[in-house]
Each structure stands twice: as C-alpha cells, then as structure tokens.
Structure 1
Amino acid sequence: MTEKFNILITIKFCLTFLLLSSITSQVANAKELIIGFTYDIPPYIADNATSGLEIDIVRDALKYKGHTFKPQQFSYGELDYVVKQKGLDGAAAVQKTDDGTFYSENFIAFRNYAFTKKNAGITINSVADLKGKTIVAWQDAYKDLGPEFEALFSPSVELPYKNKYKEIPDQAKQVAMFWNSEAEVIVIDETIMLWFTKHLANKSGSIQDLVYHNIFGDKTQFRVSFKDQQVRDDFNEGLKYIRENGTYQQIFDKYLKD
C-alpha cells in the first residue's frame, strides 16, 4: 500500500512539474509587441486603437500564449510597410504579399459594396458600370477589390473617367462626402458604412436611403503580418482557440448587436 502511495505521489509530482515547466516556458517566451493598426474606423478600431473588433480579436488571440501589445496607428496605405521598414512586430488587416514577413490565417473579413442613394436612381450591375460616376473609396481600395476594379481604378490608369474617382484615408470623411453629395457612389465595407451613417452628425440621409450594389462578390479577407514566425504561429493558435470557444463570436456580438 505504501509503495502504491509513493508511486502515485511521484506521478503527481512529475505531472505538476511538467505543468509548471510548461507555464514557466510560456511566460518566459511571452513578448510585449508593437502592432500597427489603421486610424480609427469604428466598430473595427476605435478610441485611438484601444477598442474595437480588430483590437479585441488580436488581443485575445495573442493572449493565448501570453503575448501583449501596444498599438500604433497609421494610414491604411502605410500598413503594408510598417513591419519591414519601421521595424514593428506586426501589422493588422493587411493583404498577403511576398515581402518576407510572416502572415497569419485570415482573422477578419470586410463585406464591400457600392452604395448609392435611392433617390439618385443609379443602376450598377457590374464593376464596369462604375465608370463615369463620381466615386469615393478608401485608401488603396484598388488593391483589395479584385483585378477588374484594379484595372479600372489603379493609379496607373490615365483615362478621363478616372478623374471622378477618389480614395480617402479617413473613412468618416469618406462617408460624410457621400451624404454631402460630393460623390454619387461610395465603395466601402457595409459595417463601416452603417456605423458612420448612424453616428455621424449633420448627415443628410439614413440607412433606409441606401441602395446596395453587390458587385464585388466574396468578402475581402485580411490577415496580420508578423516580423517573427513563432509569434505568427502563436497568434494562429490563439485565433483558432478563440474561434472554437466562442470568444470570437462574442467580440462581434459586443460591437454589432444593438
């Protein structure tokens, strides 16, 4: 009996030691990171990058392996370069390119539409139908909306209709321009459009005045780029974990449910 008891005590001690070693190793490898985000675009990023869908998802995914981060904000067009050129540990909501950084799995998706006003009576059934209309989109939208859109609206295009197309870094200003009739069409993520339409002061329209033109197909997926491969792997593990345990959906419910 005493021998069995001693064996059980030994096994329990070994398991406890292994568990503590694992926790100690995880804490020792945890890092405080500097992650780049865009300027505020509620509900994705808000309050100087201290809250929002993207902030909470990145925070909870990194926390799984003990990492923390401090945010730095940039224009959307700058995010592609902050890891390689500015030495940040990561950049959130970017498209995957062959730039030598380490990209996460898709962590958030945007549903982009062309919106017009009902009283304008504009018909848009395809990307080609945008030609000749005054359009406002976000900075570098031409990179994110597929090859047909890029062929029509990239900076290299020098045709008369292109003069009516603008890209604006500030998406609050983008929405305001649309409601102030400075553009016939706004190309934007649905959630951002509805949030700013609901919250912007002095707007001259409402959600009920909008026409959705679904010409871009699937959602546009975004990733996080990391300087360090292990941190990228840790993030992916954490992202999988929060999706499986319901935290990911809870974050969306927190910001999007009225």
Structure 2
Amino acid sequence: MRNKTLKLLVLFQLLLGLPLFANTSELKVAIANDAPPYVADNAKSGLEVEIIQQALPGYSIKFLQMGWGDIQNAIKNGIADAETNVYEHGETGGHFFSKKYVGFVNYAISRKSEDIKIDNVNDLVGHHVIAWKGAHLDLGPEFERLFSPGGAGSKNYVEIQDSRDQVRDFWQNEDSIAIIDKSIFAHFSMKQGRSMDEVDTHKVFLPVSKFKMAFKDEKTRDEFNKGLARLCSIGEYAKLLRKHGISEKANICE
C-alpha cells in the first residue's frame, strides 16, 4: 500500500510539472508592503505571494517586505536573493530578469465632488498627482515626459513608497488624483472609512503596468520562468486572478 501511494504521488508531481525531490533552499524575496489583493496578511497571501510560491515549489521562500523604492536595491545591498515589481530601465550587472509575472490595472482616481475632467494624460498636469515610487518610468512615454523631474507636471507630482500612504495622501489633500491599481485603492479606502461611491475612475489609457522579477542567480530565474509558464499552461494563473478579484487585463500569460 505504501509503495502504491508513493507511485501515485510521483505521478501527480509529474503531471503538474513539479520537481520529484524538494529543494529546500531558502530564497529571500524582497516584496512590497501589504497592498491587497496583491500582497496581504504580512506577505502570507495575495496574488503575487501565491504566484511566486507556486512557480517555485521547491524553495522555502522568505518574503521581506519593504517600500517600492527599497525593493530595487535589495539584491545589491545583500538583503535579498530576488526582487519583485522590477521594471527594466537599463539595469545591468548582478541581476537576472524573469519574464513579466504580474500586472496592475491602473486608473486615474479623483473625488467625485470635485468633478475633475480627465480625458488624457495631459489633463493630469496642474493637479496633485500621487503615484508609486518609480511610476514616472512605468506608465508610458507621455507620462514619463510630463512627470519626470523637470516635466510640465512634476511640480505637483509625488511618488510614495507605500500604497497605504498613497491612498491616505489622496484623502487628506483636495484636488488630488491617485494613479493606482483600482483594487488596491478600494481596499485601503475602505480601511480608512471611505467608499468607491465617493470617487470617479478615469480611463486615461494608462498602460497595464506589467513587472518582472530580478534574481541574484540565473538558475533560480530560469526555474521561476519555467514555473510561471506552467501556471499559464494549466490555467492556474487565470484562476488566481479570479480568486483575488483582479481584472483579466492583468493576465501576463501569452
């Protein structure tokens, strides 16, 4: 009976494309502070957490939470073996970049009571615009032109490390526009006693921000890419999006 059970377990692992023998190596992964539904419960759950865990089943993954801007230096500073939410901006040396693994569906969000009209990216100029750290490089060439240091909209533009603080800044300041994933904004607004009925979400053709991971070594990067491809091929990635109530637009599977 024991041998039969072992054979069934091996067959099950082969069907799922999982390694037959676990590699118990610890992998330290720099990840953002809680921003449900992507990262939640002190990085114990959420879409990003589950993608990484399921793509690298042979590793004991330790998530290290930090601000968006700090993540980008976690490998260089010797803190982590991998970084989440990386967008290649010409970085070289000591980083092995994965394929895109997660997408954020961004909107421009304003107070309904202020009746702000936003039809294109240029309409954001002149308002207090709040985004995440590095967003001016992530949101397309027009946004980069307007909101990079010295750009026409840079005077009233801020980038904030933590999504919770980004939403708090929005509610504390009039004439504010948050550039943020709608699901994240809704979660933190509710925590602050606010409702989505109080805001307008503007479709200003901001791109879905799709990010890569960066790894310290090539082997782990390759294993992650293989695991990610498996999640796509068996439909598990789409299932995770539905589980967390995230738009299909965020699907990175080709």
Question: Is TM > 0.5 for Structure 1 vs Structure 2?
Answer: yes
Structure 2 regions of 5+ residues with no counterpart? 1-9, 247-254
What residue in structure 1 maps to residue 237 of structure 2? 248
C-alpha contact 2:104 2:208 (8 A) present in aligned 1:
yes
Of the three residues 81, 90, 113, the one matched with 2:107 is: 113
Of the three residues 177, 181, 204, the one matched with 1:185 is: 177
Distance 1:28 1:242, change over 3 A: closer
C-alpha contact 2:109 2:177 (8 A) present in aligned 1:
yes
Distance 1:29 1:201, change over 3 A: closer
Distance 1:236 1:158, change over 3 A: closer
Of the three residues 220, 227, 233, the one matched with 2:222 is: 233
1:61-210 correspondence to structure 2 within 5 Å: 61-63=55-57, 66-86=58-78, 88-96=80-88, 97-100=90-93, 101-154=95-148, 156-157=149-150, 162-197=154-189, 199-203=190-194, 206-210=195-199
Distance 1:180 1:87, change over 3 A: closer
C-alpha contact 2:47 2:241 (8 A) present in aligned 1:
yes
C-alpha RMSD of the superposition: 2.6
| TM-score, normalization by structure 1 | 0.80
What letter corresponds to residue 91 of structure 2 in structure 1?
A: D
| TM-score, normalization by structure 2 | 0.81
Structure 1 regions of 5+ residues with no counterpart? 1-15
C-alpha contact 2:167 2:185 (8 A) present in aligned 1:
yes
What letter corresponds to residue 150 of structure 2 in structure 1?
A: V
Tell me how many residue pairs correspond in the alignment.
230
C-alpha contact 1:108 1:222 (8 A) present in aligned 2:
yes
Give the structure with the higher percent helix: 1
> Shift of the alpha carbon at 1:176?
2.4
> Shift of the alpha carbon at 1:30?
5.4
> Shift of the alpha carbon at 1:87?
5.2
What letter corresponds to residue 140 of structure 1 in structure 2?
A: G
4+ runs deviating over 3 angstroms: 25-30, 180-183
> Shift of the alpha carbon at 1:229?
0.8
What letter corresponds to residue 240 of structure 1 in structure 2?
A: A
Distance 2:221 2:145 in 1: 33
